[in-house]
Amino acid sequence: MPDLALPDVSLHYEVSGTGPPLLMLAGMLSDSASWEPTLPFLSADFTLIRPDNRTTGRTTPADAPASPAIWAQDALALLDHLGHSKAHVLGHSLGGNIGWVLTRMAPTRVASYTMLASAPLNLRRNVELFRTLIAIRRSDAPPDAWLRVFFPWIFAPHTYEIPGAIDAALAQALAYPHQQSVEAMAHQLEAVLSADPAPFQTEPDVPTLAILAEDDLLIPFKAAKDALSGIERRVISGSGHAVHWEAPEKVAQHIRDFALQHDI
């Protein structure tokens, strides 16, 4: 369980697999564990580097300063610590935005960049959703109430037709020992809302792929496609925002095929 001591945080990270480095940046409310379903399909081809972004997982303190730029700086510091001058970068949702900032900050460090269920969109509806989730968690509602509100936004409709699938996901989320606190969740949301929009006004100057989910409610397919008109896109049908949980093998295949076209 390694940790990198930075000036204001202890950055937790996980490393596994073998091959060229693939930096995997988790999305909102998620940490390094969110990549678990994809690991069996990527670990033979890449050294998988998975930090717990500030405000999540085992990175402490949870209330340290945070922003997409700070998260990107942490990722670069981690690559330095591990001795990688260059890496493939993968980001899911918010992690995709962090990766976008990283490509603007240090393009020579990025061999390829893959966005997963991510786009430079600023949707007020999503902000209201996360504020509602925070309010539910701060209330006297049962511990699973906010997850039951959140899950329809991240899982495709067909997942609800699989017997036991949602109950299993709820049980796993509630049992996770490093789940984000409600105060850390609120801090993360404010960090996102205070982000500098400038890096998102021009497309990354590195090889970039966007993997979109056809049934994504948080990053709607059409809006994402329009926002990423100049970027290579691949679409996974029948999956929602948690596409790497619903279709991990397909996601991994796209990541592998694209990244291995660009040598480090």
Q: pLDDT tens digits, residue range 29-52? A: 999 999 999 999 999 999 999 999
Percent of the chain with pLDDT over 70: 100
- Tokens linked to 115: 């966005």
In order of their start, the domains of the chain are 3-259 (3.40.50.1820)
Look at residue 264 in the predicted model and tell me its pLDDT. 87
The DSSP string of 132-153 is HHHHHHHTTS-TTHHHHHHHHH
- Tokens linked to 55: 């405000």
C-alpha to C-alpha distance for 9 and 29, rounded to whole angstroms: 18
Q: Report the pLDDT averaged over residues 109-119.
A: 98
> Cis before residue 61, ω within 30 degrees of 0?
yes
Closest CA to 87 of 111, 71, 53, 107: 111
Residue reference for tokens 């996901």: 169
- Tokens linked to 232: 């290579």
C-alpha to C-alpha distance for 60 and 3, rounded to whole angstroms: 10
Global pTM reads 0.97
Query: How many separate helices (H) and strands (E) can be counted in the chain?
Result: 10, 8
Classified as helix, coil or strand, 241 is coil
Look at residue 211 in the predicted model and tell me its pLDDT. 98
Q: Report the pLDDT averaged over residues 221-249.
A: 97
Looking at the predicted structure, is the pLDDT value of residue 235 above 80? yes
Looking at the predicted structure, is the pLDDT value of residue 207 above 70? yes
Look at residue 1 in the predicted model and tell me its pLDDT. 60
pLDDT-derived band at 156 (thresholds 50, 70, 90) equals very high
C-beta atoms surrounding 174 within 10 Å:
11
The stretches of the chain forming alpha helices (DSSP H) are: 39-42, 68-82, 94-105, 124-138, 145-154, 165-175, 182-193, 221-227, 243-246, 248-259
Looking at the predicted structure, is the pLDDT value of residue 185 above 70? yes
Closest CA to 115 of 98, 138, 137: 98
Percent of the chain with pLDDT over 90: 98
Closest CA to 200 of 122, 148, 106, 111: 122
Look at residue 88 in the predicted model and tell me its pLDDT. 98
C-alpha to C-alpha distance for 32 and 35, rounded to whole angstroms: 6
Return mean pLDDT, the chain.
97
C-alpha to C-alpha distance for 248 and 252, rounded to whole angstroms: 6
How remote is the C-alpha of 82 from its chain's centroid?
A: 21
Classified as helix, coil or strand, 35 is helix
How remote is the C-alpha of 211 from its chain's centroid?
A: 13
Looking at the predicted structure, is the pLDDT value of residue 175 above 90? yes
